[in-house]
Amino acid sequence: MLQRSKTILATLTAAVLAGAFAAPAALADDHDFPSQPVTLIVPWSPGGGSDTSMRLVAEAAEAHLGQPVVVVNRPGAGGAEGTRAIASAEADGYTIGMVGSGVIARHYGNPNANDYGDLQPIVFFGADPGALTANPSTGFKSVSDFVDAAKAEPGSVTNGNDQPGGSSYISISVLENELGVEVTKVPYEGFAPTVAALLAGEVMTATVPVPDVIEHHKNGDLVLLGVTDTSRHFLASDVPTFQEQGFDIVIGSWRMLVAPQGVPQERLEKLEQALIATLSDAAFVERANAAGFGVNPMGIDDTTAFLKAFDDTLYPVLKASDLVKVRDRN
């Protein structure tokens, strides 16, 4: 008995020592990167769109990275919790994460949230254009109908969206700003309850993405009035864009993969290449599209430029909607 526990102890010690020596060795030699599994932090709960899309990425990335990718959910505080976990992770390339367009709103709105400059973009995953959907009982057939009703009596149109700072809240705020209208914004936690409320007629319109309402639109239970993109949505070719209807508005939500600042250049490039290859994989794209995710891979430089441009577009809207509370620009 004693003998056995001694053997176990010795084995454990050896294992710990081996681990202690192995870790710096892995750090020193970038040619072997990655030599251990890569952690992918998702700042949202299991089961949502962000989680599903990233589990798809994680599964497909193994073949291109040569190591498994493990999804770790760090939900909380509208994504601020997980973003913090990414930004403060060790910058060795073994921890990466996903952030969505909400990272900009939190940058200006939540004093505890990270500056988005704490994150190093790796690849752009894809964008979901915003959309405006109405309950048929409103009689709205086009974006103009919505604008007319909202102008006739400000605040009379109720719109279902998420809480301030969420992507569908940003969508309706942009619409209010650009169309010069005022609606009553009704917050729901997540897109599913928003769609349920729209179906039940509790709210008149909602600004949830196309995949969440497309089946109801086809069935005539809901009417998609328009999408805020430069081209029509791949799931809804019968629905005109806002631009086609004479309103030049392009806004959507997006997801990108990021790392903490300070990851060695060589590793960052390896991650970039492997993830671009993953996101360009035909089988992956087919699966992601079927699940309603548009995939539009971009590398480090384009993604960084995109983030900056999105900030420039969104800042005035956030300012107008009273959502700039910290890190104000001068």
Residues that bind other proteins (CB under 8 A): 45-48, 51-52, 55-56, 58-59, 72-78, 80-81, 84-85, 109-112, 158, 163-165, 184, 186-189, 192-193, 195-197, 199-200, 202-203, 211, 214-216, 218-219, 221, 287, 290-292
Shorter beta-carbon distance to other proteins: residue 86 or 300: 86
- Write out the two tokens for 139: 């009689």
Q: Which residue has the tokens 């952690």?
A: 39
| Structure tokens belonging to residue 22 | 């192995």
Nearest distance in Å: CB 198, other proteins: 10
Nearer to other proteins by Cβ, of 306 and 315: the residue is 315
The CB-of-83 to other proteins minimum distance in angstroms stands at 11
- The residue (of 2 and 200) whose beta carbon lies closer to other proteins is 200
Q: How buried is 35 (Cβ within 10 angstroms: 0-12 exposed, 13-18 middle, 19+ buried)?
A: middle
Least separation in angstroms between CB 29 and other proteins: 28
Place of tokens 């990655």: 34
Residue 311: CB atoms within 10 Å: 16
Closer residue to other proteins (CB): 81 or 311: 81
Minimum distance from CB of 76 to other proteins (Å)?
A: 3
Which CB, 187 or 299, lies closer to other proteins?
A: 187
Q: CB of 187: closest distance to other proteins in angstroms? A: 5
E strand map for the chain = 38-42, 69-73, 95-100, 119-134, 158-161, 184-187, 205-206, 223-228, 252-260
Q: Per the structure block, which two tokens stand in for 211?
A: 């995949």
In sequence order, the β-bridge partners of residue 162 are none
